[in-house]
Structure 1
């Protein structure tokens, strides 16, 4: 007598869970190694780290794409079609891992390993190049990365533009045509506001913005800010690096990395608040998804919507200035003791073109993304190569922001992203637009965000995000999440209206 359908399905499920755990283990080790490399590892560790990461990446790729895994997913997919599997979580896991497998299968294992080694090496070169203002040393990596990604894109879908393939990988359903429409709409709102502020707006006088706050004090302040944003010390840790970032390792384990400038404490403050949004998302995934393919954020746009929500919608709101000022006064009373909430609000929302994306104000920020998007498209279309990037960068900064770029460290070398990815940057602007649509949805569900922010207890807002966004992990794509949370498809009008209203009021336009 053969196995019953239930027994056969249980066996498949057991093997599937074993595969997921093996994949997760290698992902966890790669994340730990990469986080170490960006924070505390010595300069000369890059070669060994790259070798280790390459091996782990190869093992992960072979596990995911090997004959045994393909046969297993095939049997599970057949069981789903036959109606033998009904558990919603298992169905989501099968659907998600099957897609991961389809896309990974087209990349040969040796190329997956080589890609990991290349990005590890390029990241190490970028760190040194930025410090020494040496674009020439980093330049060859741009061309190698772009050519590799174009080749990999042809493996995934040779009928599509390579850049569209990668835009879709970071945000399912997005391509250059969709981003063009989005950026056109945002540009029509932002550019006139920037010009009006330049011509008629009065900037606040806030000399305390550049007051000295020591490294030691800022480190202590950082931990209290993380607590204010709702992060539990038992779930998180803090590290220090050149380029702030965060990483979710597993349920109950997220890491935040910030930078400290002793004459610009708000840079650290808003880096911490921003990265706390990323970390909270990772920590808020349904615990039942732990060590499965559903663990983690679903897309870069949704991830950025969380960090930008924390940083801007909450962190730069007038209502939040009381709780924020309380933390600042506790650690730097000599600087913030006499600063009022209104003064902090105006200073935290100064809108003026600047060179550094991560320091950019909320209004001009999307212009920084647009110029990177323009350059990425030119690199992928063949209109430009790496040697053209510094001149293109300087030209576009002048066009979009009206500024002259003094050096490459403050220009095309400022971001780490081009040492490891292309097609990611547009999601930063898209995330900001997603988050603007959350606020009226919260209000509809009885969460008054101003009241929550003023109280200094963000629990109600965080619970709304946990229920509508975080808990789903990779189980839902961005479009489905936004429509489910907001009751309507994504609409950039919410974002444009928010920017117009906020900055017109701030600058009395």
Structure 2
């Protein structure tokens, strides 16, 4: 039996190998989405497949299983400190989630997803669903197969939901979305009946691409990001990622006819990046580095996009940044006019551009379609019609093209079935975090209005960010908020905010 010191040395070596593979995969994926030439897809897919297979072997081999079993026993016996015991717990869970999926299957999926993302990018630009559809069917089949390998007795979509948000389930999301719809749908109907919308004239027009990129960096600085620890680029679909607290990635997409699209993309992706930059540096090269779940991650991105970025308190700060980069364009605009313009609530086609109120209905649509796909009750050929029908039903709008419809999001090309619900959940987590922050004495409006987000960041760093993967999502939110997750914080926030804007 090896000594504990030998096992801990082996544990460190395992984590270094897994970190190196994650670093390589993340970096390759980022360049694939931002800078690789079109003909690089096949080589990149092969590299990703090999890296995935090797990482799988490191984690799932019998030697690792024996090592983790011995260290679990040592943890139970009180022979490991808290950090070591947590590393063993998280690695054991990761291994349990992966061990029943053969390495070649995991590698094949990584190859397929890399190829599919390149096809999706071309298909979206060309409005060509038919070219992407075969890849979607293959991705659905692969994810269903892998979920059933992991838990043959479970609904595969249930397994996928838990993968992105540990502890979640069909029943959890069904109840959550029911509560959200009961709030949002009547509010949208009341706004329609009101027959008035705030003007967006102050944010309309042409805004130079390079100037928008300069504005992007300024917004990230205002949020509090360390730009010396970040790679910044452009892509078709904005996203962020990380390999350590000292290296995060953000990619944006600039529309010269829609400056606010980039503004809120930056605030959103900046929230993700701040989470990653503020994880305990001691976790940097180990298994505890990274956000604990998609829902918690989205709570941070949507917190800075919406609770900060779309608040009336922050409007003067945002207006000052716009005036700095576009002299003369915003001189006659008041902070309240900007606040109203960026909070206009009306059904729209594109999720990432949706207002804060109707956003969750975009998520419900994807949640429902994913269930049909994973259950085998629909195929890729059915998706455009399912999508368009639900946009008419939930949002009352017709979808003119697949580019503005079922091709708008990158997630399915990555095989990320089960991710979408976490966007809405993250929004709800954020409302509860905001209430807890205020209860702790943080002057949210005062800090946001002064452009001094440090107290807000400090609160989130202490309660969420620094923990990385060390605490599971629901216990993390419960500890931060002083109570169990409760969606009424979110529905109350939406009701109060939009009733105020529309005088309902």
**Structure 2 contact 202–338 (Cα < 8 Å) conserved:** no
| Aligned residue in 1 for 2:455 | 460
Distance 1:300 1:126 in 2: 22
Gaps of 5+ in 2: none
- Indicate whether 1:217 and 2:211 are aligned: yes
Residue matched to 1:392: 386
1:430 aligns with 2:425: yes
Aligned equivalent of 2:125, options 111, 128, 131: 131
The whole-number CA distance in structure 2 between the counterparts of 1:287 and 1:91 is 18
TM-score by length of 1: 0.98
Deviations 1:293-337 (A, max 9, x none): 000000000000000000000000000011111110000123212
In the alignment, which residue of structure 2 is the partner of 1:70? 65
Q: Which residue of 2 aligns with 1:354?
A: 348
> Equivalent residue of 1:256, what SS?
strand
Matched residue SS, 1:106: coil
Separation in 2, partners of 1:173, 1:129: 35
Partner of 1:269: 263
Contact 2:303 2:430 in 1 (8 A): yes
Which residue does 1:42 correspond to in 2? 37
3-state SS of 2:418 partner: coil
In the alignment, is residue 103 of structure 1 matched against residue 97 of structure 2? yes
1:469 Cα offset (Å): 0.3
Residue 83 of structure 1: how far off its partner (Å): 2.4
Tell me, in whole angstroms, the C-alpha distance in 1 between the residues paired with 2:356 and 2:17: 41
Q: Partners in 2 of 1:359 and 1:337 — Cα distance?
A: 25
Cα distance in 1 for partners of 2:435, 2:403 equals 40
Partners of 2:412 and 2:200 in 1: CA distance: 35
1:27 aligns with 2:42: no
Corresponding position: 1:79 with 2:80 = no
Paired residue for 2:469?
Answer: 474
1:36-93 deviation per Cα after TM superposition (whole angstroms, max 9, x unaligned): 00111111111000011111111100111112211211111121122222x1111110
Partner residue of 1:363?
357
Separation (CA, whole Å) in 2 of partners of 1:205 and 1:281: 34
Structure 1 residue 382 displacement after superposition: 1.8
Tell me, yes or no, if structure 1 residue 60 matches structure 2 residue 94.
Answer: no
- For 1:206 and 1:299, the matched residues in 2 are separated by 35
SS in 2 for 1:231: coil
Asked whether the 8 Å contact 1:201–1:507 carries over to 2, the reply is no
Determine if contact 2:200/2:342 at 8 Å carries over to the other structure.
Answer: no
Q: Which residue of 1 aligns with 2:183?
A: 189
SS at match of 2:228: coil
Deviation for aligned residue 1:461: 0.3
Moved more, 426-435 or 209-218: 209-218
Rounded Cα–Cα distance in structure 2 between residues aligned with 1:309 and 1:303: 10
Tell me, yes or no, if the aligned pair for 1:201 and 1:508 is still in contact at 8 Å: no
* Corresponding residue for residue 246 of structure 1: 240
Confirm or deny: 8 A CA contact 2:216 2:263 kept in the other structure: yes
Q: CA RMSD in A?
A: 1.0
Partner of 1:402: 396
Deviation at 1:259, TM superposition (A): 0.6
| Equivalence for 1:114 | 108
Alpha carbons 2:269, 2:301 under 8 Å: kept: yes
Q: Which residue of 2 aligns with 1:381?
A: 375
The size of the alignment, in residue pairs, is 503
Task: Give distance in 2, aligned partners of 1:82 and 1:491.
Answer: 36
- 1 CA distance for matches of 2:138 and 2:199? 47
Deviations 1:245-269 (A, max 9, x none): 0001112111111110111100000
Task: Tell me how far 1:201 sits from its aligned partner.
Answer: 4.6
Structure 1 runs (4+) deviating above 2 angstroms are: none
In structure 1, the gaps of 5 or more residues are: none
Q: Residue in 1 aligned with 2:82?
A: 88
